[in-house]
Each structure stands twice: as C-alpha cells, then as structure tokens.
Amino acid sequence: AGARNVGDTWHLPDGDEQVERDAKMKARDDDNPSKWANQGFQQWLFGWNAFTNEY
C-alpha cells in the first residue's frame, strides 16, 4: 500500500490530477500528498522526545 501511494504521488501522467497534486505540494500545508513534506507527519515522525516521553 505504501509503495503504491508513492507511485500515485510521484508518477502521475500530465493532466488534471497532476496539476492538483502540484498545487497541493506548493501550498506546504497538512494537505500535502507527500508524507515527507506533510507537517503533521513530520511532527509525528520527528517530534517525539524520548527524554520526556511526549511530543
């Protein structure tokens, strides 16, 4: 499922879906189709403080 999602995100043919995806990526908000650029995902992945056991 994850690999398929990456393929859908990065390998869209030219067209309406690709234009919509590009606009979402440029917006730089939590609606970004790329998990790595999604601020909510970044906080979840990198925001954990192991010393205090909290985000």
Ranges of each domain in the chain: 2-46
Distances (CA, A) of 46 to 7, 16, 36, 51, 52: 24, 33, 11, 14, 14
pLDDT score recorded for residue 3: 79
Give the integer Cα–Cα distance in Å for 10 and 35.
12
Amino acid at 17: E
pLDDT score recorded for residue 33: 79
pLDDT score recorded for residue 52: 92
Give 20-54 pLDDT, tens digit per residue. 989 988 887 777 878 788 888 888 889 989 899 88
Say what the pTM is: 0.59
pLDDT-derived band at 16 (thresholds 50, 70, 90) equals: very high
pLDDT score recorded for residue 1: 62
